[in-house]
A and B are shown apart, each in its own frame.
Chain A
Amino acid sequence: MSNTEKVLSVEEREAVKALLFQLADDDFLFSYRASEWLGLAPHIEEDVASSSITQDTMGHSAMYYMLLENLGAGKADDLAHLRPAEERRNSVLTERVNGEGYYMDTPQYDWAYTVVRSYFYTQAKKVKIDSLRNSSYEPLAEVAIKVNMEIYYHLMHWRVWFEQLLSSTEDAKVRMTDAIKLVMADFGDVFSYGDQKEAIERFDIIATEEDLEENWILAITPMFEKLGNDLPVVPKNAERNGRNGEHTRDLVEAIATLSEVYRMDLSASW
């Protein structure tokens, strides 16, 4: 890492941190939700494949939290486990439950929702990573290059699922169409930087919100044309903006679970 090469101004440093919290929390929550599927995917081969993606994604969030640690934001593990919901900056989309029920009981998770969320989210991540590879903040650009190598396969995986399920039985099409509506209802903050928009966009750390959204639409258009489905519309004003710490009950519950052991003794080594 070459984060010592350039001395950042206070404003720039704060802008980088604001963006890193969004990226780290997004991948962390997305991976957490995926990990609840472990052992329960539609078939064994998928379980192996998607848990590989889940691990990669957790690894990406760990790299972002490490960049934050290097910037003096606190210990990576504390950042991942201890911050309450109102301090989290992930998109609401990533915190939503996979379906009904708690993972420790007998949940009825929705595979259609998971496929749609994963494809749309991963495509959005790809658009961001493409921009971050040219980030003015070099340590982040270096991480983006690593993430880019893995995300290629993640995106391919979810595209295949999306296309197959939308080209199959009527039942599958109905489920997928419903899932698209559900996912898009939460898409309003995916490309948002919240109240940090001006600061984040000022320093060329990443492209503007508008550019990212446009690139995402461009990237998914061929798939929708091929399937003959209407292009989804990104909501203009998110009902809740996760980038400003506006979250759902789902996130509060997820944090309680994922930090249950870590919180038992903060001075202990696990």
Chain B
Amino acid sequence: MVIMTEDQKMIYFMKRIVAGEKIEADDWMPREYRDTLIKLISMHGMSEIMGALPEKEWVPKAPSLYRKLGIMAKVQDEMGHGQLLLRVVEDLLKPYGKTRGDLMQDLFNEDLKFHNVFHMETKTWADAGLIGWLVDGAAIITQTNMLGASYGPYAKALQRICAEEVFHAQHGEAIIMALAEGTDVQKAMVQDALNRWWPSLLMFFGPESKATTGTSKQEATIRYKIRINTNEELRQSFLDKYVPRILSLGMTIPDETIYFNEESKEWIYQQPDWAEFRKIISNNGPRSQARLNLRRSSYENNAWVREALSAKVN
């Protein structure tokens, strides 16, 4: 067996990446690749779990038996995605001797962040529909972009997640359509939800470049073939797909300046407040601390259960 130096391993690894091969959990990988994946997937996994909290607020209140069943299934899926993704991260963390418990602590210590959208308040039932339709719609765009990710276990988890997200978007769209075609109060409710969520939806894809927020994972993730497109390209795809649909439901885009530039083939739109974005993702959004507290307190409150399950009893 030929023993390779670190440099040779790196050259071989990059050859595999360029050739489109899948890297598996036990394969050699450079630290930067492992750390990028850990950061990306733990943030994705924790966002699924934190993302269950704004929607769960509407589960008991869902306005019919049918909607109650639908939203229960939807939120359950999100928790399932969280579980699937944390399992992928757990394997990556092994060489560092870290576990899922450490990830929870990282979340509580605020070292591990979650997606900007899940820091926001939900005010009406329309928000529950809008999250399903447009937040999951945005997630489908970013996640399908990584379906061919070079890291095999992540790509496999994403296959299943994306398949379910399509149902979620349809579930959300059905709620929105009922409201958009409903009474004046319902129509106003859905427009109000869109107005409030619009900046968060634009922010969802992240800033165009690192210059905006100081850090960005996009260069490394593209170099290692974890994803294909840039943040801005993904945001443009979102606008391509959803602006016409929003308009066709009789709603207005809460940005008077938005238009499609036929020459450059791109949407020109009002930039969201990126200073606000930085504030939100550093856990200073409207509901950041309340949701973290809910997660912390339920974790502490149930500590006795985890202890009981792991106790060795004669």
Contact = CB atoms under 8 A, between A and B. Distances in A.
Contact of A39 (B56, B83, B175, B179): B56
A122 to B, nearest CB: 18
Interface in A43-67: 43-45, 47-48, 51-52, 54-55, 58-59, 61-62, 65
A43 B306 contact: yes
Q: Which among B86, B178, B294 has the greatest number of chain A C-beta atoms within 10 A?
A: B294
A65 B65 CA distance: 10
Contact of B63 (A40, A55, A169, A270): A270
Nearest to A168: B308
B65 A58 contact: yes
B255 to A, nearest CB: 28
Interface stretch (A2-10, A106-114, A133-141, A238-246): A106-114
Interface in B49-83: 49, 52-53, 56-69, 72-73, 75-76, 79-80, 82-83
A43 B298 CA distance: 10
B69 A51 contact: no
Contacts of A203: none
A76 B308 CA distance: 42
B182 A48 contact: no
B65 to A, nearest CB: 4
A51 B64 CA distance: 18
A52 B69 CA distance: 10
A51 B72 CA distance: 7
A55 B65 contact: no
Q: Is the interface of A mostly helix, strand, loop or mixed?
A: helix
A62 B67 CA distance: 11
Contacts of A257: 60-61
A165 B308 contact: yes
Q: Which among A81, A168, A270 has the greatest number of chain B C-beta atoms within 10 A?
A: A270
B125 A261 contact: yes
Interface stretch (A30-38, A89-97, A177-185, A228-236): A30-38
Nearest to A270: B63
Contact of B64 (A32, A169, A270): A270
B61 A268 contact: no
Given A106-B294, A106-B297, A38 B52 contact: yes
A165 B185 CA distance: 49
Interface in A220-270: 257-258, 260-262, 264-265, 267-270
Contact of A268 (B59, B183, B307): B183
B183 A35 contact: no
Interface residues of B, number: 49
B153 to A, nearest CB: 17
A111 B300 CA distance: 12
A164 B183 CA distance: 52
A39 B182 contact: no
Nearest to A111: B305
B69 A39 contact: no
B62 A261 contact: yes
A35 B59 CA distance: 7
Contacts of B61: 257-258, 260-261
Contacts of A175: 304
Nearest to B51: A39
B302 A38 contact: no
Contacts of A38: 52, 56, 59, 72, 75-76, 79
Contacts of A103: 56-57, 60
B75 A48 contact: no
B313 interface: yes
Contact of B83 (A35, A44, A77, A81): A44
A262 B64 contact: yes
A168 B313 contact: yes
B82 A269 contact: no
B301 interface: yes
Contact of A108 (B63, B79, B297): B297
B311 interface: yes
A65 B183 CA distance: 27
A169 B79 contact: no
A48 B76 contact: yes
B313 A108 contact: no
A270 B67 contact: yes
A44 B65 contact: no
B64 A77 contact: yes
A270 B63 CA distance: 6
B201 to A, nearest CB: 22
Contact of A55 (B69, B307, B309): B69
B81 to A, nearest CB: 10
Given A44-B79, A262-B64, A269-B182, A168 B309 contact: yes
B186 interface: yes
A108 B301 contact: yes
Q: Which among A32, A39, A55, A270 has the greatest number of chain B C-beta atoms within 10 A?
A: A39
19 contacts: A35-B59, A35-B68, A35-B72, A39-B56, A40-B294, A40-B302, A42-B306, A42-B309, A48-B80, A62-B65, A62-B69, A77-B65, A103-B57, A106-B294, A169-B308, A257-B61, A261-B61, A267-B183, A268-B186
Given A108-B301, A169-B313, 4 more contacts: A40-B298, A47-B76, A48-B79, A106-B297
